[in-house]
Amino acid sequence: MNERMLRAASALVLAAALDGCAGLGVAAWDRDVLARDDMQLTPDPVEAALDEHIYFSKEASSGGRGFGGGGCGCN
């Protein structure tokens, strides 16, 4: 997959997702499960940041989930 394809694919995914999103979901009073601590998308932000730092130092990819707090001169 080259870059142009990725850009197009992303735009399509997001557009389709947003269009399909209207009407999808639950009513406010059914959000009890989603409000749980362990249902947060990043339940442990410190751990996520530590892992991101490790993998940023050892691999060529980084981020995706959001972005980290900073770079480093990691070896």
Partner 1 sequence: MRAAHLVENSGERERRVDLSPTVEGGWCGRFFAMGSPCEVLVECTSGSEAFDLVGLAATEAWRIEDKYSRYLGGNIVARINSAAGEPVEVDEETSRLLGFAATLHSLSGGRFDITSGALRRVWRFDTGSLVPAHDRVRAVLSLVGWHRATWQPPVLVIPAGMEIDLGGIGKEYAVDRAVACLRDVSEYACLVNFGGDLAVTRVPQRRKAWHVGIESLRGVRQSPEKLIRLEAGALATSGDTRRFVLSEGQRFGHILDPRTGWPVRGAPASVTVAADSCIQAGTLCTLAMLEGDGAEHFLRRHAGKFWVTREES
Partner 2 sequence: MTKQHGSGLSATLATATCTLLGTAAANAVLAEEADDWDFDTALLYYGESDGRVQDASLNVLANRQFTDDRSLSLGLTVDALTGATPNGAIRIGEAQTFTRPSGNAAYDIAPGGLPLDDTFLDTRYALTAGWKQPLGRLNTFGVGVSASSEYDYTHAGFNTQFARDFNDRNTTLSAALAIARDEIDPVGGTPLELSPMLDVGDLSNRRGAESKEVVDVVFGLTQVISRNTLVQVNYSWSDASGYLTDPYKVLSVVDPETGVTLPRAVTPEVVGPSHAFLYEGRPEERSKQSLYGQVRHYMNGKVLDVSYRYMTDDWDIDSHTVDTHLRWPVGTASYLEPHLRFYAQTEASFYSPSLPAGIPIPAFASSDYRLGRFQALTAGVKYGWRMRGDHEMSVRLEWYQQRGDVPADMLVGGQSAADVYPDLDAVIAQFSYRF
Q: Which does 19 bind (CB under 5 to 8 A by kind): partner 2, partner 1, none?
A: none
Instruction: List the structure tokens of 63.
Output: 């981020």
| Position 57, amino acid | S
- Count CB atoms within 10 A of the CB of residue 42: 11
d(CA 73, CA 14): 34
Q: Alpha helices of the chain — where are they, by DSSP H?
A: 3-21, 45-58
Q: Which residue, 3 or 37, is less far from partner 1 as judged by CB?
A: 37
d(CA 17, CA 10): 10
Among 18, 24, 34, 72, binds partner 1 (CB under 8 A): 34
Q: Which residues bind partner 1 (CB under 8 A)?
A: 27-29, 31-32, 34-35, 40-42
Applying CB under 8 A, which residues contact partner 2?
1-3, 6-7, 9-11, 13-14, 17-18, 21-28, 30-34, 36, 38-39, 41, 44-47, 49-50, 54-55, 57-61, 63-67, 69-73, 75
